[in-house]
Amino acid sequence: MLTAGLLAGCGGSGGAGDGNGAASSGSPAGSPGSAGAAASASASASDAAKPVKLTVLNGTVEAVDWLNEQIKAFESQYPNITVEQEFQKTASDVLKVKIASGDTPDIVALAQVPEEFYDQDLFHDFSGDTAIWDRLTNPDIKSSIADTNRPDKQFYLPMTVSYTGLYYNKDIISELGIQQPSTWEQFTAALRTVKDHKSGVTPLYLGGKDSWTLGQLVQYLPLGSIQQALGVEAANKAFIANDAAKLEFDKPGSRVETFAKALMDMKSAGLVNKNGASASYDNQLDAIANGKAAFVIQGMWALGDILKKNPDAHIGFWPIPALMPGDKPYMIGSPDGAVSVSEKSENRDAALKFVDFLMSPDVQKSYSVLRNSPSVYKDAAADWSILSRDIAQDTQNAFVASRWPWTPSGYNSDAIGRTVQELLVDAYKTPADFAKTFKDNWDKGYTNAAP
Amino acid sequence: MIRIARRLHERLHLFMAVPALLLFAVFFVVPLVRGINISLTDWTGLTPSYHYVGLRNFAEFFRDARAVHALRVTLIFGLISPLLLCALGLLYALLLDNRLRGRGFVRTFVYMPAIISPLIMGYVWLLLLNSENGALLQLLTMLHLESWYRDWLGSPGQALWVVIAVNLWQFVGYAMIIFLAGLQGISAEVIEAAKIDGAGYGKTVRHIIVPLLLPAIRINVVTNLIGSLAVFDVISALTDGGPGYATESMSLFIMRTSFNGHTGYATAVAIVMFAVILIPVSVALQLMRKADYDR
Amino acid sequence: MKKTPLYALMALIAVVSLIPFYILLFTALTPSSVSLADSRLLLRHVEWSNLSHAWRESRLGDAMINSLIIMAGSVVLSVIVSAGAGYVFARVATWYNRFFFAVLLFSMMIPGIINTVPLYSLMKSIHGINTHWAMILLLAAGFVPQSVFLYTNFIRSMSRDIEESAVIDGCTPFGAFWRISFPLLAPITSTMVILNAVNAWNNYSQSVFFLQSQDRQTVPLAISRFVQTYGADYTQMAAAALIGMLPAVAIYFAFQRYFVKGISAGAVKG
């Protein structure tokens, strides 16, 4: 990867070449759009002879072996192309350093790219690749992953849809006769029922030591409510532009304040675990897997680990109850597993071939099963988890956001989570104090990065 | 020809420092100069463009509540840890200096935690102290003493002390070895003379041994000051700066800020951190030099 | 003084120091599916397969080879260049030598974080990323200040007589140093080897940026694979960490006889 990256760097991409990111560009305008590897092979007989080395930056550890398998299969079809995978735990950070030094990977998979890199046109634009977009199960997906600042551009290709919601312990819920809570009052009542009748079981378990779990709560509840009020796309614009009038972060009685109050109330009523700030994500999964907790708010990505801890776990999946009155229950069902290609790389065409291969139906099917998530492609349907029926039901009556609520690069869900940790250890006297700190941090998180 | 080669060979020893200095210059000085350059800009680390802003980043540091808090955390950890390390290390060394059987083994065991990477050490303690299934909790439960368990890592006031304790655990062996080396240099006659004069153990230690250990003390104080003020791995693994920002040290703050779109500012804070290390070390060296003269 | 309380104290210290190793051991041998409720402390079921699984999953074998190459290279290099520099600084008292010596000491106080991004650019421009040799040079450069300090002190305390008589017999000072004095530096060299080898073996913050492809990963990178944002598998991490630390422990045991002597002579005397 380095070599290809270096070649790319010296070849003429000014600074950071490819953004990190999942934005994968579709096939370039020139070559015939081809969704399958077979089609691409015919398109460039002339490159077939030249040996090419591609580098893929992968940010998802669960996909490392899977990616290696795909690489092997691809290399046997294209003997002149070698692909090297670089797995990085903190792919985002490493990418920033690389790009700052002019070293961009040919392909970035399954990792987050800061918007600033898309703005610099470091990635291939897939918008013209109709063959891929035609395969989507839901055409709206294309616009929901369009570039934020220039919606006519598509800088990455998705693979699956990831959902977030409320896991619940089926046995405890049915024993106590709890119905699906839609409003926050119903949710609090359900939690209280658990507390009163099941001592030793935590009603709602927080894994706060891993601050992102708390940061995501902020994204689901107050920020998600903004999405419901303005519509996902308009909300996205408001977040990015820091439109204080629309966001109202520190207005009295605002959503952020309501969130803080809700959390403080749950804490004082004993509805969440006392060690919420020091219990880890691992502890959280343990708790729901082994009946020590009735509810946890998490994403589908957790399912695999939950079942590993207890293969007989009886869990279900509901949408997250609405924080604000008048809102519907909330889920995020957003395209995930993004793949992008460096636009300035010398090996761009070969990289695009590899991406085409990755997007082929069989490969997508295997990825869908790997991540317990449905594929975005019609022809890659697979039996992806025990909760597929739950999700089908849930998406009927909930507000399903097609995008994660955007956060500034300097105040991402890790950082937001730390502010919530502070709340859990009583650093804030009133919910209004929390809201004020939140707004200050949010404002400071904008990097003023001029493209 | 041979005479020239011979002349070169005779002078060769004068250049023996060159390789080391070259390595140092290339891999340390060059990046450092560029780093200092970055600290004078508003570079975000994400886009190629930047502007020179002079010393604005440094002024910003003093207005930034979170940065100042990080400074406080760094000073608490960085000044208390060396003190504890030296005190405990000295006690260990005094104990193991006696002619006791098996002291070689104990010496070896005490130093062994220093071989583990601090990152792993942090994870080990995480496993020990976990509030759900940590080994400490399990042990107390087995002894029916669960009520003694405290969630230290979840409490902002106590988390830093846990980190100090873990750091102590890991590096007390290093301090001990340095003191052992120093103790070996103290001749037995001096101790005998003190005993004959009627000095008790405590007095002997305070007035005879400690002053003679000054070189060892100097090494321990300086090394541990530098290491503790720059601490990163153990905090990252054990508390990740939490809960909230309660244990966020300057190194952690700099790392996060650098990767969150404020690279120029972060580098400036790193330079401030250098001053934070330089001042205590210089003061400590001065104090010890004075103690040396008073001897 | 009665000996028994001292022995008791010694035993206590030894046990306390070894606690982290015990934790690693029993975490490594616990089956991953043991739930919250079961006590892990008593290891009712010993899962030896964790070790082989961790070995395969994190490609520990390759990682250890990489770590070994980098450790050996950087330790040997730093010892040679530092001993050489130590000789010059100890024996040749010129103003520029004193200056360089002070600069090296000074540099130990500069936080490494300042360097990260410029260092990456540098490594890239010398085509050193993902290579063993660049990592060796980088780590050796990091060891130089402390090593030079210790060597300089030690050599200062060594009398010049041996070297001078060698020169009278026809050696160059260069030859005299390496053939006669250097072997006498064995204690301090042992100390340097232990300190630097362990640092090189455990190096993480540089390796994570500069050793990127899987087949170049070192042991700490391999171990960290098990501790992820979305879920950590501590049993595997502990297993990998246990196996991974064996070479470092082996080096320690091999050289530790001279450890105290080396520190004593190189640092503590005068």
pLDDT of A140 over the 70 cut:
yes
Structure tokens at B210: 């400690």
Structure tokens at C58: 């994190």
The identity of residue A54, as a single letter, is: L
Q: Which of A201, A263, A267, A278 to mutate to test the interface with B (most CBs of B within 10 A)?
A: A278
C7 touches chain B (CB under 8 A): yes
Q: Please answer whether residues A408 and A419 qualify as being in contact, where contact means their C-beta atoms are separated by less than 8 angstroms.
A: no
pLDDT of residue A19: 28
DSSP C61: H
Q: Quick one: which of A413, A251, A418, A261 has its CA closest to A332? A: A413
Q: Please answer whether residues B96 and B176 qualify as being in contact, where contact means their C-beta atoms are separated by less than 8 angstroms.
A: yes
Domain residues of chain B, as ranges? Answer: 64-294
Q: In the predicted model, what is the mean pLDDT of residues A405-423?
A: 92
The per-residue pLDDT of chain C, averaged, comes to 83
Identify the chains in contact with B, defined as 3+ C-beta pairs within 8 A.
A, C
Nearest-Cα distance to chain C for A244, in Å, is: 32
Q: Which span out of A44-48, B267-271, C40-44 was modeled with the highest average pLDDT?
A: B267-271
- Runs of H (alpha helix) within A145-254: 170-176, 184-197, 211-218, 224-230, 232-241, 244-247
How many Cβ atoms are within 10 Å of A376's Cβ, its own excluded?
25
Residue C39 or B61, more confident? B61
Of B42, B153, B262, the CB nearest to A410: B262
Q: Which of A53-57, A439-443, B8-12, B35-39 has the lowest mean pLDDT?
A: B8-12
A412 touches chain B (CB under 8 A): yes
Q: Quick one: which of C74, C8, C66 has its CA closest to C214? A: C66
Q: Please answer whether residues C205 and C47 qualify as being in contact, where contact means their C-beta atoms are separated by less than 8 angstroms.
A: no
Distance, in Å, from the CA atom of C123 to the CA atom of C209, rounded to the nearest integer, reads 10
Domain residues of chain A, as ranges? Answer: 2-159+337-359, 163-333+389-444
Q: In the predicted model, what is the mean pLDDT of residues A331-343?
A: 89
pLDDT of C269 over the 60 cut:
no
Q: In the predicted model, what is the mean pLDDT of residues B33-61?
A: 85
pLDDT of residue A359: 92
Distance, in Å, from the CA atom of C57 to the CA atom of A342, rounded to the nearest integer, reads 30
Contacts of C166 (CB under 8 A, 6+ apart): C175, C176, C179, C180
* Cα radius of gyration rounded to whole Å, chain A: 22
> C-alpha angle C218/C220/C226, rounded to 5°?
115
Contacts of C137 (CB under 8 A, 6+ apart): B23, B26, B27, C74, C77, C128
Query: What residues of chain C lie within 8 A of the CB of B135, using their CB?
Result: 23, 26, 40-41
Q: With an 8 Å Cβ cutoff, are A289 and C116 in contact?
A: no
Contacts of C12 (CB under 8 A, 6+ apart): none
pLDDT of A449 over the 70 cut:
no
Residues in chain B, total: 295
Q: Which of C59, C209, C230, C235 to mutate to test the interface with A (most CBs of A within 10 A)?
A: C230
Q: In the predicted model, what is the mean pLDDT of residues C251-255?
A: 85
Q: In the predicted model, what is the mean pLDDT of residues A376-399?
A: 83
Task: Give A216's pLDDT tier (boundaries 50, 70, 90).
Answer: very high
Q: In the predicted model, what is the mean pLDDT of residues A309-317?
A: 90
pLDDT digits (tens, 9 = 90+) for C127-182: 888 899 999 999 999 999 989 988 888 788 777 887 788 888 877 778 788 888 88
pLDDT of residue A17: 28
Q: Please answer whether residues B44 and B266 qualify as being in contact, where contact means their C-beta atoms are separated by less than 8 angstroms.
A: no
Of C117, C214, C230, the CB nearest to A85: C214
pLDDT of residue A191: 95
DSSP A404: P
Residue A94 or A416, more confident? A416
Task: Scan for tokens 């002619």, then name that residue.
Answer: B99
Structure tokens at A178: 């709890």
Query: What residues of chain B lie within 8 A of the CB of A93, using their CB?
Result: 259
Domain residues of chain C, as ranges? Answer: 18-268
Of C36, C130, C212, the CB nearest to A292: C36
Cis peptide before A79 (omega within 30 of 0): no
pLDDT of residue C167: 80
Structural domain A163-333+389-444, CATH architecture: 3-Layer(aba) Sandwich (3.40)
Distance, in Å, from the CA atom of B78 to the CA atom of B88, rounded to the nearest integer, reads 16
Residue A49 or A351, more confident? A351
Angle, nearest 10°, between helix axes C49-57 and C234-255?
Answer: 90
Residue C37 or B122, more confident? B122
Q: In the predicted model, what is the mean pLDDT of residues C216-235?
A: 82
Asked if CATH classification 1.10.3720.10 holds for the domain at C18-268, the reply, yes or no, is yes
Q: C residues 165-204 near B, CB within 8 Å?
A: 172-175, 177, 198, 201-202, 204
Beta bridge partners, A136, equal: A377
Q: Which helix (H) or strand (E) holds A399?
A: strand A399-401
pLDDT of A358 over the 50 cut:
yes
pLDDT of A426 over the 60 cut:
yes
0.95 exceeded by pTM? no
Structure tokens at B259: 């990767």
Q: DSSP per residue over B119-155, as a string?
A: HHHHHHHHHHH-TTT-HHHHHHHHTT-GGG---GGG-
**Side-chain-facing half-sphere of C269: CA atoms under 13 Å:** 19
**B35 alpha-carbon distance from chain centroid:** 23
Task: Scan for tokens 């077939």, then name that residue.
Answer: A48
Nearest-Cα distance to chain C for B115, in Å, is: 6
Q: With an 8 Å Cβ cutoff, are C172 and B100 in contact?
A: no
Burial class (CB in 10 A: 0-12, 13-18, 19+), B18: middle
Task: Give C37's pLDDT tier (boundaries 50, 70, 90).
Answer: very low
- C-alpha distances (whole Å) from B33 to each of A313, B12, B101, B115, C117 are 57, 30, 53, 33, 12
Q: Please answer whether residues C268 and B215 qualify as being in contact, where contact means their C-beta atoms are separated by less than 8 angstroms.
A: yes
Percent over 90 (pLDDT), chain A: 48
pLDDT digits (tens, 9 = 90+) for C15-33: 999 988 988 888 888 876 6
pLDDT of residue B292: 67
Structure tokens at A306: 């939950």
Task: Scan for tokens 């700030």, then name that residue.
Answer: A277
**Which stretches of C14-171 are assigned E, i.e. beta strand?**
none
Distance, in Å, from the CA atom of A312 to the CA atom of A324, rounded to the nearest integer, reads 35
DSSP A46: G
Q: Which span out of A203-217, B178-192, B271-285 was modeled with the highest average pLDDT?
A: A203-217
Q: With an 8 Å Cβ cutoff, are A447 and B130 in contact?
A: no
Task: Give A217's pLDDT tier (boundaries 50, 70, 90).
Answer: very high
**Which stretches of chain C are assigned E, i.e. beta strand?**
227-228, 231-232
Fold of B64-294: MetI-like fold (1.10.3720)
Structural domain A2-159+337-359, CATH architecture: 3-Layer(aba) Sandwich (3.40)
Q: In the predicted model, what is the mean pLDDT of residues C249-262?
A: 80
Query: What residues of chain C lie within 8 A of the CB of A9, using their CB?
Result: 124
Task: Give C54's pLDDT tier (boundaries 50, 70, 90).
Answer: confident
Q: Which of A275-279, B270-274, C122-126 has the lowest mean pLDDT?
A: C122-126
Q: Please answer whether residues B112 and C18 qualify as being in contact, where contact means their C-beta atoms are separated by less than 8 angstroms.
A: yes
3-class DSSP assignment, residue A431: helix
Q: Which of B146, B254, B256, B260 to mutate to test the interface with A (most CBs of A within 10 A)?
A: B260
Q: Which helix (H) or strand (E) holds A340?
A: strand A339-341
pLDDT of residue B215: 80
pLDDT of A30 over the 80 cut:
no
pLDDT digits (tens, 9 = 90+) for A156-179: 999 998 899 999 999 999 999 999
Residue B148 or A430, more confident? A430
Beta bridge partners, A375, equal: A160
- Taking one residue from B and the other from C, the number of pairs with CB-CB distance under 8 angstroms is 249
pLDDT of residue A20: 29
Q: B residues 10-49 near A, CB within 8 Å?
A: 42, 44-49
The identity of residue A8, as a single letter, is: A
Of B20, B119, B180, the CB nearest to C81: B20
Task: Give B145's pLDDT tier (boundaries 50, 70, 90).
Answer: confident
Task: Give C1's pLDDT tier (boundaries 50, 70, 90).
Answer: low
C8 touches chain B (CB under 8 A): no
Task: Scan for tokens 């795909």, then name that residue.
Answer: A70
Residue C208 or A285, more confident? A285
pLDDT digits (tens, 9 = 90+) for B264-284: 898 899 989 988 998 998 898
Q: Which of B58, B86, B101, B116 to mutate to test the interface with C (most CBs of C within 10 A)?
A: B116
User: Predicted ipTM?
Assistant: 0.83
Q: With an 8 Å Cβ cutoff, are C116 and A89 in contact?
A: no
Q: DSSP per residue over C186-236, as a string?
A: HHHHHHHHHHHHHHHHH--TTHHHH--SGGG--HHHHHHTTEETTEE-HHH
Of B31, B138, B178, the CB nearest to C39: B138
Query: What residues of chain B lie within 8 A of the CB of A119, using their CB?
Result: 47
Task: Give A298's pLDDT tier (boundaries 50, 70, 90).
Answer: very high
pLDDT digits (tens, 9 = 90+) for C229-245: 666 788 888 889 999 99
Q: Quick one: which of A173, A165, A178 has its CA closest to A201? A: A173
pLDDT of C38 over the 60 cut:
no
Beta strand A160-169 with A315-318: parallel, antiparallel or unpaired? antiparallel
Task: Give A54's pLDDT tier (boundaries 50, 70, 90).
Answer: very high
Task: State residue A183 phi and psi, 5-degree precision.
Answer: -105, 165
Chain B residue closest in CA terms to A97: B45
Distance, in Å, from the CA atom of C152 to the CA atom of B77, rounded to the nearest integer, reads 31
Task: Scan for tokens 């691409």, then name that residue.
Answer: A40
pLDDT digits (tens, 9 = 90+) for A239-252: 988 988 888 888 88
Beta strand A399-401 with A330-336: parallel, antiparallel or unpaired? parallel
pLDDT of A8 over the 50 cut:
no
